[in-house]
Structure 1
Amino acid sequence: MTVTLADQILPLVRTRTDLHRWRAANDYGSQLHEAVTLLQDAAENQPPAEVLTVTQKAIASACKVIMRADDSSGIIGDAIRQLLELHAQLVRTAPPPDRKLVDWMIRFQFDNECDFFTIDPVAYAPALGERGMTTYRMKLDEIAAGLSPKLSDEHRHNLWSTDRDAWHQVLEQDHTRFVLEWNARRLAVWDRDVDAIIATHSRDRKVAAWLQDTAKALAEIGEFDLAIDWARQATYFDLGHQAAKASVYWCALLAEHRPDEELPARLEVFRRWPTSSNASALNKRGGSSWPTYAEEVTATLERRPREAVSFALYGLDDLTLAWNLAHSLTLDDSMLWQELAKRYEKVEPLAVLPIYTQLVLADLENAGAGSYRSAARRLARMRTLASGSPQAAEVDELIADLRETHRRRPRLQLEFDKAGLP
């Protein structure tokens, strides 16, 4: 009996298992990724039309499954996104009839219980061709024409209180508008229409992320000067996290398309957001001119101990400087102290004992096997580092004191015993 591609793939995708449990959902997600890999391999050496048919069925089944699964890990969602990418690739390789493809795209976006995913009409445009794209736009226009006028926030609130069914219909129309707006943005990119890109992506220009979206879309069609300008606008929008994210994109565009302007931009970004990562980027780009900026960067970061120590440790790879700064600036970050001590113990083992002591005490502020296990491992490490030195007795005395202080915590005593502590 011949085993078809569908026979191989679909049993991995379809399941009646209860996936509300996180572990079960993750197991299914791993199985779904196996199916994706098999389909990707099949796309290389089997008839693309057959692979497309199976992929489309796999997408439909996986979308039904995710609706009843705890995909908080994102494993199932990632696999479905890969299936959608493969679907777009396959239709470009072996285009189905354009009307059939349009119908599938419309159904997936507007008649699908699972509304977690988007598809990109730009990726499908080559397969649709001019006639298919015209049909697709007409379908979108028909859907848009069927929408009711958008309600005010007050009216929506009243519906929630008085007519719950009508309120749910409003939510459905909100999602339809979201999908239509997504399509308008992507079709503007396909049309290479600068004005439409700006209008659809920047919207009312009240959010930094929308300005960055505009920059990315302009870069996608090769309008790099405009993209740089919009990325700069996003960077200087405010001092929020979206603007900070946009600054990274702005500098990346400059590095690729206007390298002479990158260094001044890196300096401006550091001055707006004086972080270790921005200092590291400035240091890397500065090269031989770094000493020109070093004093300003150092003085600025000293007002933020965590950033100063992180920059010394990760940006400059200067362990001694990081160690000294952590003490002189009174670093108050247990995770960074932990990493710093782990590295510095190779330089001066006994010097890290006070740090490990504080970390042990911090561990024991929380009851629980994990905290006890962490404290026990640190204490065992301290004994190894102090072995043969005068501090060895002090470490053992600390362990004895902790055993006495926490004598009513049997799990702590057990974890200490497992670690071989006295």
Structure 2
Amino acid sequence: MARKVVGFGEGDLRALAGTRSFERGLGYLDAVSGLEVGEGSVTAVVHGTDVYEVELTLDGDEGVSGWCDCPHGQEGNFCKHCVAVGLTVLRRAKTIPHQRATARARGSGLEAWLSALSRDELQGLLREHIAEDRELRRRLELRAAAARSDLGTVRDRIIALIDPRPFARYGYIEYADASGYARQVAEAASALRALTADGQAVQAVGLAEESIRVLGEAYGEIDDSDGVVGEAAAAVAEAHLEACGVARPDSARLAEWLVGTVLDDSNDVTDLDPLDYADSLGPSGLARMRQLAVEALRRRPSGWAERYLTERLIKAEGDVDALVALHAQDLDPFGATHLLIAEELESAGRGDEALAWAERGLWECAAERYIDGRLVDYVCVRYVKTGRAADAVAVRRDRFRLERSLAAYRQLRSAARAVDCWEVERAAALATLEEDARCEHGCRYGGPVLIDALLDDGDVDAAWGEASFRADDRQRERLADLSRETRPAEALGVYLRLVERSKEPTGDRAYEHLAQLLLGARDCHRALGTEEVFGVYLAGLRTELKRRRKLMSILDRHSL
């Protein structure tokens, strides 16, 4: 019955909000107040962390939609407050038709009453509300000034709307006041667009630029956690773009303003994209903007904003040589910039130059143990595509000799197999890793890379030969896992030693690891035909660690 009356049910609310928000909304039923039913909507107030205004739009058979000024609701979500209001409506479903009829009657009565008023009476009523509502007064003053082309008053009204001081009670705008300030900024944006529409685009350009400056100076002192001021400021920027499209201001002056605004460290409120103004700037304005960006980068070579702007402008013009020159001024020591240049050249159809830059990167970074792997991949892929697979092997060999890592070993193996020379390359690579193992007795992150390489090749017997006096626990466990059936006695010895070391650590992960070690040990005993011995060992271990209930539970789950 409720669905027929109000056009939705609890299932619709759950579907809109999701289970989590729906369940939370149940806890706010007693926090709903001021429920007001209109002809096609319902409004209410919900008292939560703050006091939130909620509006549900009822569309008959098409369902329900909701809006709330809480942070979650302002992101476009059907929040828990909307759920609470929706559930309240469902609880009062029987009264909804009467309330809607009453709302229609009120609306019709108001319309009839206003229509019957004389001009003097309407003006008196409006003056009464203007005296009581400051925001209404300012909006109407702005409209009146625009209608009579009183640009001085229009400017004063817009700047008053942008002025943050009335909201900055303690020298900054708190979170609770940000939405109120954002509404005023949005109103200023609307006024700027109205100016443009009324043939005052030139004035709108100047006022928008002044507004953006004020917003930029104030934004650092605003708690805009929900981004509402930023959204309103974006509307001001859009109004400026729109006005420029109509007014066609001097392209050089516009270019100077855009570059100055984008590079202004204090202006974080608007995310202006100068290329959006390409039509207004024209070729001469774009050229002037690029000149200014290059000069700014020359003054501050380390400036991220200067470099980013210059790069975007050069890309927009399609000047690949200028882009290469820009990147070449600050080459990364690990080859990332060389790769970037190579990719730009290749995109421009200049493949030979692209490969030359990538090769230069390998040469200039040759002494670095760590180099951008994408650059090495780039060179090797292109060598293979052009029939130079042997050169790709040489590159992989050089990188392996410098890095001495398992990853470099794998890459060398892949390249060498492609030209059927892995046997020779493998012998040399293993000799290098053998030398490392003798000198270091391990590596920075554990046992020797030699053992990992042998395991990766599937040479388990050779890995056992090295592991007897060089491997770390990780490598020994890996060997044991691979040898439960072929070398059960040796694997069992590894598992039992690791179990003893794993008794002390606690926590789910440690207990799960201990269980896996025991499972490995059990498999070894089965292969040896000594399962009874394992049973006695396991019983003793459970007795020793019986106070660790979580461990006992995990062992039970694994049937241990």
Shared fold, TM over 0.5: yes
Deviations 1:183-209 (A, max 9, x none): 433554565545423332233335223
**Alignment equivalent of 2:421, drawn from 289, 306, 315:** 289
Aligned to 2:368: 239
Going from structure 1 to structure 2, the CA distance change for 1:289 and 1:149 (only over 3 Å counts) comes to closer
Relative to structure 1, the CA distance from residue 221 to residue 280 in structure 2 (aligned partners, 3 Å threshold; closer, same or farther) is same
Residue 188 to residue 299, structure 1, CA distance change in 2 (3 Å): farther
2:528 aligned counterpart, secondary structure: coil
Matched, 1:383 2:445: no
User: Who is 2:333 aligned against?
Assistant: 207
- 1:394–1:263 Cα change, 3 Å: same
Q: Are the aligned partners of 1:312 and 1:319 in contact in 2 as well (CA < 8 Å)?
A: yes
Q: Is the 8 A contact 1:234 1:243 kept in 2?
A: no
Q: CA deviation at 1:366?
A: 1.9
Q: Aligned AA for 2:470?
A: T
| Residue 114 (structure 1) shift | 10
Identity, in percent, stands at: 19
How far off its partner does 1:300 sit? Answer: 1.0
> Hey, what does 2:394 align to over in structure 1?
264
The Cα offsets for residues 265-318 of structure 1, whole Å up to 9 and x where unpaired, read as 22222222222322222222223222332321110122245432333333x3x2
What is the aligned partner in structure 2 of residue 372 from structure 1?
A: 511
Q: Deviations over 1:79-116 (max 9, x none)?
A: xxxxxxxxxxxxxxxxxxx969xxxx99999977699x
Alignment partner, residue 415 of structure 1: 554
**Whole-angstrom distance in 2 between the partners of 1:234 and 1:11:** 51
Change (3 A) 1:399 1:181: same
Q: Which residue among 440, 448, 452 is the counterpart of 1:310?
A: 452
Q: Distance in 2 between matches of 1:108 and 1:398?
A: 72
Q: Deviations over 1:336-371 (max 9, x none)?
A: 444443333354455422333344344434221321
Q: Which moved more, 1:393-402 or 1:247-256?
A: 393-402
Q: What residue in structure 2 maps to residue 14 of structure 1?
A: 76
Indicate conservation of the 8 Å contact 2:339/2:357, yes or no: yes
Rate the CA distance shift 1:227–1:147 in 2: closer, same or farther, 3 A: closer
Q: What is the TM-score with the length of structure 2 in the denominator?
A: 0.43
What is the distance in 2 between the residues matched to 1:130 and 1:264?
54
Match of 1:219, as an amino acid? E
* Corresponding residue number in structure 1 for 2:431: 299
Amino acid at match of 1:254: Y
One-letter code aligned to 2:450: A
Residues 5-32 of structure 1, C-alpha deviations (whole Å, 9 max, x = no match): x99xx999634879xxxxxxxxxxxxxx
> Which residue number corresponds to residue 360 of structure 1?
499
**Conserved? CA contact 2:433–2:450, under 8 Å:** yes
Distance in 1 between residues matched to 2:354 and 2:554, nearest whole Å: 57
Give the aligned partner of residue 72 of structure 1: none
Aligned mates of 1:263, 1:330 — CA distance in 2 = 30
Contact 2:400 2:408 in 1 (8 A): yes
Counterpart-to-counterpart distance in 2, 1:404 and 1:380:
18
Higher relative contact order (CA 8 A, sep 6+): 1
Letter in structure 2 aligned against 1:196: A
- Distance in 1 between residues matched to 2:316 and 2:512, nearest whole Å: 56
Whole-angstrom distance in 1 between the partners of 2:381 and 2:287: 34
Looking at secondary structure, tell me which structure has more strand per residue.
2
- 367-376 or 347-356, which moves further after superposition? 347-356
Taking a change above 3 Å as real, the CA distance of residues 218 and 320 of structure 1, as seen in their structure-2 partners, is same
Q: How many residues of Structure 1 are paired with residues of Structure 2 in the alignment?
A: 308
Matched to 2:518, the amino acid is: L
Output the CA distance in 2 between the equivalents of 1:265 and 1:359. Answer: 40
Structure 2: state its 5+ residue gaps: 1-58, 67-71, 81-223, 227-243, 247-257, 438-446
- Partner Cα separation in structure 1 for residue 538 and residue 297 of structure 2: 71
Report if aligned partners of 1:255, 1:262 keep a CA contact under 8 Å in 2.
yes
Q: Residues of 2 paired with 1:343 and 1:228: CA distance? A: 43
Q: Is the 8 A contact 1:277 1:311 kept in 2?
A: no
For the aligned residue pairs, the C-alpha RMSD in angstroms reads 5.0
For 1:32-181, what aligned pairs fall within 5 Å after superposition? Answer: 150=300, 177-181=303-307
| Alpha-carbon shift at residue 386 of structure 1 (Å) | 1.9
CA contact (8 A) 1:275 1:301 kept: no
- Contact kept? 1:309, 1:325, Cα under 8 Å: no
Once residues 234 and 148 of structure 1 are traced to their aligned partners in structure 2, the CA distance between those partners, rounded to angstroms, is 24
- Alignment match, 2:131: none
Structure with the greater alpha carbon radius of gyration: 2
Between the aligned partners of 1:220 and 1:356, the Cα distance in structure 2 is 55
1:27-58 deviation digits (Å, cap 9, x = unpaired): xxxxxxxxxxxxxxxxxxxxxxxxxxxxxxxx
| 2:314 maps to 1:182 | no
* 2:460 aligned residue (298, 308, 320): 320
Confirm or deny: 8 A CA contact 1:99 1:135 kept in the other structure: no
Cα distance, 1:262 vs. partner? 1.7
Corresponding position of 1:48:
none
* 2:380 alignment counterpart: 251
Rate the CA distance shift 1:192–1:360 in 2: closer, same or farther, 3 A.
farther
Could you tell me whether the CA contact under 8 Å between 2:362 and 2:376 is conserved in 1?
A: yes
Cα distance in 2 between the residues matched to 1:371 and 1:147? 54
| Among candidates 354, 358, 362, match of residue 227 of structure 1 | 354
Structure (1 or 2) with the greater helix fraction: 1
Residues 286 and 148 of structure 1: CA distance in aligned 2, closer, same or farther (over 3 Å): closer
Q: Which amino acid aligns with 1:274?
A: R
Confirm or deny: 8 A CA contact 2:488 2:527 kept in the other structure: no
The 3 A distance-change label for structure 1 pair 420 and 311 is same
Which amino acid counterpart does residue 379 of structure 2 have in structure 1?
W
Q: TM-score, normalised by structure 1?
A: 0.55
Aligned residue type for 1:229: A
